Amino acid sequence: MPYRAPVKDIRFILDHVVGFAEVAATPRFSEATPDLAEAILTEAGRISTDILAPLNKGADHTPARLENGAVVSSPGFAEGYRAIADGGWVGMAASPAHGGMGLPISLALGVDDMMSGACLALQLKPLLSKGQIEALEHHASDAIKALYLPRLTSGEWSGTMNLTEPQAGSDVGALRTKAVPNGDGTFAISGQKIFITWGDSDLTPNVCHLVLARLPDAAEGTRGISLFMVPKFIPDAHGKLGDRNSLRVVSLEHKLGIHGSPTCVMQFDGAKGWLVGAPHKGMAAMFTMMNNARLSVAAQGVGVAEAALQHALAYAMDRRQGATPVAGQGTIIDHADVRRMLAAMRAEVFAARSIALSCAVAIDMASATGNADWQARAAFLTPIAKAYGTDTACSVAHQGVQIHGGMGFIEETGAAQFLRDARILPIYEGTNGIQAMDLVARKMADGGEAAFRLIDEVERGAEAARSARPDLAGDVWSAAEALREATEALVAMPLNDRFAGAVPYLRAFSLVLGGAAHLKAMQADPGREALARVMIRRLLPEHGALLAQAKEGAAGLYAVGADDLAA
């Protein structure tokens, strides 16, 4: 089935679940009226459905390739990227000072969701540019901003981030790339970076690399890392491209999925670079880009899950197999187990989308008001949104293959592509295990205050719904109270004991937030009760077992020796 952008669902969540009206009521975002939001989401949905989605399958079969040291993109990607860039979609949330629209991240995230569902491999290119734009806005010198931001914002140039090295993955502090002063304010960057998404491109005339490297006097570890802008072609002060820089693509990675997105091994051989931010403070600047990317990857997960669900639903509505136990379509959707899978898929897509958009609203409110509580809420929700959104992508795509049965294992049906494409998302921008550890460590450094505020909010919402639906509201309230008790226990634990239960704790928190989102949706539209019941009565009960794991600590894990694992 052709992909259809879920404009209606995104608009409903913004209006009735996550409080987008509060964002539009701020002076900073007063232009984000209901009419403007509708127009933006509708047009982005049209581009996603009509222009980007038809490219997805072809890019899987005709991947990006390296010819004579240059990347050649998949067929149709040039036209697809031009539709994104020319429409102003790269700079939606960027500052108007450099050509951006200055719109809320909440709306931009809805667009990311739809474009990711349409063609993840292509959407990755503007995603990296958006993150680079935010990093430069916050950390770059005025000269770098003036030169790079207008061209990145328009989509004329594109951006990347270069962190990972063969020996330095999650342990970024182990990187070896060097930056040596040239004596003229620039630096010679030398080293190799791997896993660089869209590290080269024939879709834009220049690719702008943000590269982490060490100055000669740098300390060991992350405190000694600096950040540099290293363009493929060196521009003059007016943006005219000059000499090619001393960098090249060594090879393209052979990947499980997202074949249309070139993942490059990059070699820098004394390439000319410009310092971004203060010396030895590169991680702060890079984390600005990474946090932006983490929420965008959450939206990518939701988008791919949406596409996989639509594909599976179309198959289930058409496929006839065996006698169905109830009168209906006469197809496999009338089998209880298939209906169970589809209902759970839709319930979790709605929950994950709601959590991601709630995080975006918190970011918008923090930037519009400067309020510390909004900032803490956004920070706390970011790892939850990223991990739950991307785990949902994998689980929904997995169930989509299952619904297809044997045909799901056949590439021609298209179900397998969603699973292959989705599998990178829980690894991107810090694995989901790292997200969970961040949640229970850095994000609970306040003694759990941000967590408890969210739990209080869920309980207030459940109390408000109790008179209309006491059963479902009571289940959500009880789950939130169990989450409160587990949070209190985790805050009192040593850090490694928290880490041992971090992943189940994050999923339990996600399910509670998802249940609350469905409860709020049902109050706004009683027609959504059936899906709310699936979420609250079938999926939310997992929280008890998950929280039991979360409180178990680390000792039992370390009691399992290497011999036990090898047996």
Q: Tens digit of pLDDT per residue, the chain (567 long)?
A: 689 999 999 999 999 999 999 999 999 999 999 999 999 999 999 999 999 999 999 999 999 999 999 999 999 999 999 999 999 999 999 999 999 999 999 999 999 999 999 999 999 999 999 999 999 999 999 999 999 999 999 999 999 999 999 998 888 888 999 999 999 999 999 999 999 999 999 999 999 999 999 999 999 888 899 999 999 999 999 999 999 999 999 999 999 999 999 999 999 999 999 999 999 999 888 778 778 789 999 999 999 999 999 999 999 999 999 899 998 999 999 999 999 999 999 999 999 999 999 999 999 999 999 999 999 999 999 999 999 999 999 999 999 999 999 999 999 999 999 999 999 999 998 999 999 999 999 999 999 999 999 999 999 999 999 998 899 999 999 999 999 999 999 999 999 999 999 999 999 999 999 999 999 999 999 999 999 999 999 999 999 999 999 999 999 999 999 999 997
Tell whether 182 and 108 lie within a shared domain: no
| Rounded Cα gap, residues 419 and 437, in angstroms | 25
Tell whether 166 and 141 lie within a shared domain: no
CATH of the domain at 528: 1.20.1270
Do residues 103 and 32 make contact, with C-beta atoms less than 8 angstroms apart? Answer: yes
Q: Assign residue 245 a region: left if phi > 0, alpha if psi is -120 to 50, beta otherwise?
A: beta
Tell whether 449 and 551 lie within a shared domain: yes
Cα–Cα distance list, 443 to 365, 388, 414, 454 (Å): 19, 16, 39, 13
What residues have CB less than 8 Å from 510, skipping those under 6 apart?
351, 352, 355, 384, 387, 388
Tell whether 80 and 130 lie within a shared domain: yes
Tell whether 63 and 129 lie within a shared domain: yes
CATH of the domain at 260: 2.40.110.20
Tell whether 145 and 223 lie within a shared domain: no
Q: Among residues 153, 187, 204, which one ends one of the domains?
A: 153
Tell whether 26 and 145 lie within a shared domain: yes
Tell whether 437 and 547 lie within a shared domain: yes
Structural domain of residue 11, as residue ranges? 7-153
Q: Is 99 inside any structural domain?
A: yes
| Rounded Cα gap, residues 485 and 480, in angstroms | 9
Q: Among residues 127, 153, 179, which one ends one of the domains?
A: 153
Q: Provide the pLDDT for residue 434.
A: 96
How many CA atoms within 13 Å lie on the side-chain side of 408? Answer: 23
Q: Is 171 inside any structural domain?
A: yes
Does the annotation mark 429 as catalytic? yes
Q: Is 333 inside any structural domain?
A: no
Structural domain total, the chain:
3
Tell whether 149 and 175 lie within a shared domain: no
**Which one of the listed residues 134, 165, 348, 429 is annotated catalytic?**
429
Q: Is 565 inside any structural domain?
A: no
Q: Among residues 101, 131, 153, which one ends one of the domains?
A: 153
Q: Provide the pLDDT for residue 62.
A: 98
Tell whether 554 and 492 lie within a shared domain: yes
Q: Is 440 inside any structural domain?
A: yes
Q: Is 303 inside any structural domain?
A: no
| Rounded Cα gap, residues 266 and 74, in angstroms | 20
Tell whether 126 and 169 lie within a shared domain: no
Q: Provide the pLDDT for residue 286.
A: 79
Q: Is 359 inside any structural domain?
A: no
Tell whether 69 and 204 lie within a shared domain: no
Q: Is 414 inside any structural domain?
A: no
> Six-digit token pair at 552?
């178990």
Q: Provide the pLDDT for residue 1.
A: 62
Q: Provide the pLDDT for residue 330.
A: 94
CATH of the domain at 52: 1.10.540.10
